[in-house]
Amino acid sequence: MSNIKELIKEIDSLKPIPQIAQQVIRLAEDPNSNMGEIADVITYDPMVTANLLKACNSAYFGLPRTVESVQEAVTLVGLEQIVDLVILKGGSENLKKQQQGYGHNEGDLWRQAVSCALIARELAEKKGVAQKQLIFTAALVKDIGKSVLDRFVADSYSKIEKLVEEKGYSFMEAEKAVIGINHAELGGFIAKKWKFSDKMTYIIQNHHMQDESAHGDLATAIVYLADMVCMMLGIGGGSDGLAYRFYRDILKNMEITELDLQEIIAGFGDKMKSVEELIQNV
């Protein structure tokens, strides 16, 4: 459709993930990288260090003393979580704004993104998946396409809503039919433009499991399930939250029972107050 060229131009208005965060992402994804390299990259950037210490001293971590250096943060919190915080900060700029088309107030999509990333990491740990960092990052930025598509969704909302309510379309199917592209496809385009790995791009493109192949991909399934848990918790659902498909075969393939799912939901619900503190400090 004619909107596509305009959409692609609007991608340039996004603030790319900062170079240091991209460097940390690449190092974290590389199985041959030295974790000390990651700590060094963080240490030599004063702004990242300051933001990191602020987040580490939030109620989310509940540390027994004030953290005053990256080295101390690594000791008390662990390098994996330090990497998480750097990536969280790097991905925050485009996700905090109000999104009228999707019914998100300022901060709603950011809250959902952080919650989804934390739940995805927990699921990855439960399943013993090696790609925890990649899964965390993909879950965080999976909805980056919404940041660009929002205005077009707002302009076409009545048409999208009609397809959802009268024709039984999922919200994403309606986006595609009306605008010519959906937010997951657009997110994949952005991921390629920002030179994310092929795997992360695939997860972002398929986080609603619209491609049948994604049902057999554990990393993508984890991000999808984390997204569903957020919706069940009422986190950042917006106007599109109830108009996506729930695939029970994902639970079966991952060997997760409904009781397991209830425990994950209850556990994260209990942590939500401290998560809010983390969101405000990243």
Query: Is residue 1 predicted with pLDDT exceeding 50?
Result: no
pLDDT at 118: 93
For 249, what's the count of Cα atoms within 13 Å in the CB-facing half-sphere?
A: 8
> Which CATH number characterizes residue 274's domain?
1.10.3210.10
**Which two three-digit tokens encode residue 117?**
């990333």
**Which two three-digit tokens encode residue 45?**
């950037």
- Please report the DSSP string for 104-168 in residue order: BPTTHHHHHHHHHHHHHHHHHHHTT-S-HHHHHHHHHHTTHHHHHHHHHHHHTHHHHHHHHHHH-
Query: Is residue 248 predicted with pLDDT exceeding 50?
Result: yes
- Stretch 15-26: mean pLDDT, rounded? 83
Q: Report how many domains make up the chain.
A: 1
Token look-up 């998480």 returns 84
pLDDT at 2: 46
Which residues, 6 or more positions from 82, have their beta carbon under 8 angstroms from its beta carbon?
A: 38, 39, 42, 52, 56, 70, 73, 74
Condensed to tens digits (0 to 9), the pLDDT of residues 25-41 reads 888 777 787 777 888 88
Is the pLDDT higher at 231 or at 245?
231
Distance (Å, whole) CA 99 – CA 202:
24
Give the mean pLDDT of the chain: 88
Which three-class secondary structure state does DSSP give residue 171? helix
Lowest mean pLDDT among 95-99, 199-203, 216-220: 95-99
Residue type, 179: I
CA 2 to chain centre: 29
What is the value of pTM for the model shown?
0.89
The DSSP symbol for 17 reads P
- Stretch 60-88: mean pLDDT, rounded? 88
Residue range(s) defining the domain that contains residue 174: 3-281
Condensed to tens digits (0 to 9), the pLDDT of residues 49-64 reads 898 999 999 888 889 9
